[in-house]
Amino acid sequence: MKDKKALVEAALFVSEKPLSLYTLSKISGITSMKSLKELLDKIKRELESSSRGVELALTGEGYQLQVKDQFLEKVSGLTTYSDISRGALRTLSIVTLKQPILQSEIVKIQGNKAYNYIKSLEKKKLIKTEKAGRTKKINTTKEFERYFGQSLKEIQKRLNSAQGTSISTDEHSLS
């Protein structure tokens, strides 16, 4: 079982996205979901009780290793955010600057490809959408802050000082 635990840890470490129980079962050869969940709980407890910089998190998409909150700000600049396409990053920039923003406004700026960018960002839980008539209203989420290692207010403050503009953060909501 020790080798299987190491194998599950290795899979979580190298994966760019969360891994489902099914995927972890296939990789590790552990066919009992109960045994696999117990193993994941053991890994989670070990990481929580140690002085390691990562933790095991369960997201809507599965399990993943992530940097602990207290270290995120110091190390966030080391990643290239390679799991997000340039187009999706542009969409996310628009949302960050103008939120809440309507999906129809983003489509006017970026064209029809924006629909796919919005879907991918929503799947990563970096943005949330809610119905607003025939379109959707879009905002960033707490996962956005965790992912980029900064609060929205800090990002907007930097953008404002770089552009010499003023954006009110009172209207912006995070979930």
pTM of the predicted model as reported, rounded to 2 decimal places: 0.50
**Closest by Cα among 15, 17, 8 to 40:** 8
Q: What is d(CA 173, CA 30) in angstroms, rounded to the nearest whole number?
A: 42
What is the rounded average pLDDT of the residues 115-129? 92
Q: How much of the chain, in percent, has pLDDT values that exceed 70?
A: 79
pLDDT in tens, 43-75: 999 998 878 888 998 877 789 888 887 887 777
Instruction: Tell me if residue 136 falls in helix, strand or coil.
Output: strand
Q: What is d(CA 116, CA 66) in angstroms, rounded to the nearest whole number?
A: 26
Q: What is d(CA 50, CA 101) in angstroms, rounded to the nearest whole number?
A: 42
Please, what are the domains in the chain? 2-67 (1.10.10.10), 86-163 (1.10.10.10)
**Closest by Cα among 146, 82, 88 to 118:** 88
- pLDDT, residue 169, reads 40
Q: Which residue type is seen at 107?
A: V
- pLDDT, residue 172, reads 41
Minimum mean pLDDT range among 70-79, 88-97, 109-118, 130-139 = 70-79
Report whether pLDDT(170) > 50. Answer: no
Which pLDDT band, with edges at 50, 70 and 90, does 105 fall under? very high
